[in-house]
Amino acid sequence: MDLTWSVPPDGGNPILNYNVYRDGLLIGSSTVASYQDTTVASATAYSYFVTAVNGIGEGGQSNTESVTTL
């Protein structure tokens, strides 16, 4: 599952990485605005959200996107 998202404003502190959550659990991180989830099963529904992390800490979560694999 290829995931991409828009880069949010950094509030004056550069974004260091993004945390990627699937069904509410942290599954990985990325230093760019994309992530490939290679652990999905076919014909299964998943919900994803992302948070940005900078020197101050982890920001609020993005909108949740639900997808069903083929």
- Where does the pLDDT of residue 20 fall: very low under 50, low under 70, confident under 90, or very high at 90 and above? very high
The pTM assigned to this predicted structure is: 0.94
- Where does the pLDDT of residue 45 fall: very low under 50, low under 70, confident under 90, or very high at 90 and above? very high
Q: Find the mean pLDDT for residues 6-16.
A: 94
pLDDT at 11 over 90: no
Q: How far apart are CA 16 and CA 24, in angstroms?
A: 21
pLDDT at 34 over 90: yes
Q: Where are the domains of the chain?
A: 2-68
- Where does the pLDDT of residue 69 fall: very low under 50, low under 70, confident under 90, or very high at 90 and above? very high
CATH topology of domain 2-68: Immunoglobulin-like (2.60.40)
Q: Find the radius of gyration of the CA atoms of the chain.
A: 12
